[in-house]
Structure 1
């Protein structure tokens, strides 16, 4: 039997890299991609096939999808993992940064999904896994652009799931809480783009002090834990619509049912601590 084939975006580090290795261990044919091929050279040594792919470029997506179909004839699963976090108060976040956030976190998965769906429909089989976050379920001050992109990804995935179910295709949202990766390093770099007015310094104080985004706080999980859940979802005959990963993500699911006034009071209290 021919091994199943998976295409993963954003494999340079963290969850993407761990997922590529986890799929290889399960004897899938793995196409690991990243914007910079030098960042994923070691995955080639581990048994992955490497490709350069920037999810904001349709030409890259079309080239890689066509290559996989030429070489293997099938794409059984895609993992839309590429993404990053743009944090900062809404007023102080330039529109260009919000557009960039959505281009990577929302439009990127949309581009790749559209590229593979005609093939999956012909095969009447396939799994689309979208990496969301607990931030796709509960928003928080200073997280507007990032949470907005994840909320959008969740909404689009919910619609897509029903649209493609008649064609034998599954859509899964994987929703980690804080993960032990270098996510905060990129987030700190992006927040430097804020046009600081002095009106929201309490946010920056909390942002700089907290370890939750870094994945070092209580309830954080390893990339390997998230990767295991991704592989399980890809391998399941009928995977769940959502896979919250870790206690923070599971609690975040319940937090949606907290009255808005109570949630707002909590965020106000946290802000005053800053």
Structure 2
């Protein structure tokens, strides 16, 4: 159901049935944990997952079912989906939240690092989606919520691998949205800008140079880490609190007629609009003013 005002389409805020079972990945902290709590308090049976179930003790104490789920491990994904389907017949809402950010110059990233980034951020969510879809199709209802990033629309220096996984997740979501619509399944992409969570610390940890400053990219990496740690992922830099991001994810998961995409935060909306409107040369100039770059030898 929608209402119209001043010629614009607005969503209603009513939620999906509170009996819809929810499976969420990456619930050990941040947006995953907050989303699990919010949906549980709305009355949904929530299955909160993480690689280490011990990290989910707080959620278990709230009355949620907690499960081990590593998105790079087929057996754990299959077991989690099977558990929800045994209890409820099908997963009602899947929130693909688990991810991490590898930030390295393209030239120096190792093959294992690149593969691990795609295994976690792309192949894992896609495989979990494949596992839940047969029962969703049989039930003629379901929702897939893929947590992307504003980085699904552009890629700054140092972010090629993390951002490419989000580009891939968005492309897959666009195809999937059309493929499963005839079966009553909805696919939604959520695009957070910088958010104040533990994700930031993990991403910054991949940026710091591990050598003694004599590599051409060392100073660039340290400057990038400083930018992200002391500006980008702070309130002063426009980062959004996890609680605010959670509200948007919950809306994307529960509103009866969701949009295809939900941007989170003024920075995300501004940068993605600029990427859409500006020619490549102008957008590159914007990135050069906003991010450090490696210095060429003199």
Q: TM-score, normalised by structure 2?
A: 0.86
Unaligned runs of 5+ in 2: 1-16
Q: Which residue of 2 aligns with 1:267?
A: 287
SS in 1 for 2:94: strand
Of 247, 257, 261, which aligns to 1:228?
247
Residue-by-residue CA offset, 1:120-174 (whole Å, 9 max, x unaligned) = 1001110000000011111100000000000000100011001111111110000
Q: Which residue of 1 aligns with 2:172?
A: 156
Number of paired residues? Answer: 274
Contact 2:18/2:44 (8 A) holds in 1 = no
Deviation at 1:64, TM superposition (A): 0.8
Point out the structure with max Rg over C-alpha. 2
Deviation at 1:234, TM superposition (A): 1.6
Q: Report 1:3-14 matches (<5 A).
A: 3-14=19-30
SS in 1 for 2:124: helix
Unaligned runs of 5+ in 1: none
Q: Which whole-Å CA distance do the structure 1 matches of 2:174 and 2:214 have between them?
A: 38
Q: 1:239 to 1:197 in 2, by over 3 A?
A: farther
Q: TM-score, normalised by structure 1?
A: 0.94
Residue-by-residue CA offset, 1:35-83 (whole Å, 9 max, x unaligned) = 0011111100112110000001111111111111111223110000000
Q: Which whole-Å CA distance do the structure 2 matches of 1:239 and 1:138 have between them?
A: 24
Residue-by-residue CA offset, 1:69-110 (whole Å, 9 max, x unaligned) = 111223110000000000010001112111100000000110
Q: Which residue of 2 aligns with 1:207?
A: 224
What is the root-mean-square deviation of aligned Cα atoms in Å?
Answer: 2.0
Contact 2:208/2:225 (8 A) holds in 1 = no
Of 8, 16, 29, which aligns to 2:32?
16
The runs of 4+ residues in structure 1 deviating greater than 4 Å are: 192-197
Deviation at 1:237, TM superposition (A): 1.4
Q: 1:272 to 1:130 in 2, by over 3 A?
A: closer
Of 184, 188, 202, which aligns to 1:172?
188
